[in-house]
């Protein structure tokens, strides 16, 4: 547990000292959502229909953007080899790192999403479902992305490779999250969607940090 707090504190402090790194995905998320009403003209009925899709796609892209820097600092400064050699479990270190990454780069998006939803005329009920699906879904996206990030760690100048590798795996989360938002519009039960999202989350939390460890060993090899 000590190790967990240590990693979290270090990450938070490092982020605090260069605030713009933390703000980039956040601003990116807000700007994409802001561009949609402009691109759609004054078609507010259409806008209301596609709001769940807009917010989810924007969150997905913002997460992909933040993933490029997930292990970059560690790889550049040699922490990665330290992790691989350290007596602590690599899976545990990676879990801590991924949790702090999610907390720093993704959690702010969830915090601001009710405000953006309000600007896009979501009802209170939809706002609630939006926050629940984001809380359940974004960790899965971050975890899957971490595999790609670890594998492409030694590859320079191929910034688009990571999204190409990872985006097909994002389909289930996107389907169930936006599905829940559509169902709540028709006042139907969303219990099954939420259950499946939770199942995806639990399975990914259990297995993916270990897989990321395997991927990091391969990535460091390159």
| 217, 93 contact by CB (below 8 A) | no
Q: Determine, following the binding rule CB under 8 A, whether residue 42 of this chain makes contact with other proteins.
A: no
Rounded CA-CA distance 144/139 in Å is 9
Q: Please give the DSSP secondary-structure letter assigned to residue 43.
A: -
Sign for the CA dihedral angle at 30, 32, 33, 35 comes to positive
CB of 45 to other proteins, least distance (A): 22
Q: Of 135, 131, 108, 154, whose CA–CA distance to 197 is shortest? A: 135
Q: Determine, following the binding rule CB under 8 A, whether residue 219 of this chain makes contact with other proteins.
A: yes
Rounded CA-CA distance 160/165 in Å is 9
Residue 172 or 188: the one with the smaller Cβ distance to other proteins is 172
Instruction: Identify which range of 17-25, 47-55, 113-121, 147-155 contacts other proteins by CB under 8 A.
Output: 147-155
Q: Determine, following the binding rule CB under 8 A, whether residue 21 of this chain makes contact with other proteins.
A: no
Q: Determine, following the binding rule CB under 8 A, whether residue 221 of this chain makes contact with other proteins.
A: yes
By CB under 8 A, name the binding residues for other proteins. 147-148, 151-152, 154-155, 158, 161, 164-165, 167-169, 171-172, 175-176, 179, 196, 200, 211, 214-215, 218-219, 221-222
């Amino acid at each position: 547990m000590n190790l967990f707090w240590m990693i979290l504190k270090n990450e938070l402090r490092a982020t605090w000292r260069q605030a713009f790194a933390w703000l980039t995905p956040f601003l990116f998320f807000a700007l994409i959502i802001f561009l949609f009403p402009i691109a759609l003209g004054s078609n507010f009925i259409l806008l209301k229909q596609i709001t769940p899709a807009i917010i989810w796609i924007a969150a997905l892209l913002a997460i992909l953007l933040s993933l490029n820097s997930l292990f970059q600092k560690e790889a550049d400064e040699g922490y990665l080899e330290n992790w691989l050699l350290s007596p602590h479990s690599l899976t545990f270190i990676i879990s801590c790192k991924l949790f702090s990454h999610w907390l720093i780069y993704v959690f702010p998006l969830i915090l601001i999403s009710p405000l953006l939803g309000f600007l896009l005329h979501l009802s209170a009920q939809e706002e609630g479902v939006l926050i629940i699906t984001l809380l359940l879904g974004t960790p899965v996206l971050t975890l899957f992305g971490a595999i790609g990030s670890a594998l492409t760690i030694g590859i320079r100048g191929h910034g688009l490779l990571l999204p190409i590798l990872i985006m097909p795996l994002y389909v289930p989360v996107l389907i169930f999250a936006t599905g829940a938002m559509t169902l709540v519009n028709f006042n139907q039960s969303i219990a099954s969607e939420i259950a499946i999202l939770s199942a995806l989350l639990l399975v990914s939390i259990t297995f993916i940090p270990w897989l990321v460890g395997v991927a990091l060993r391969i990535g460091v090899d390159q």
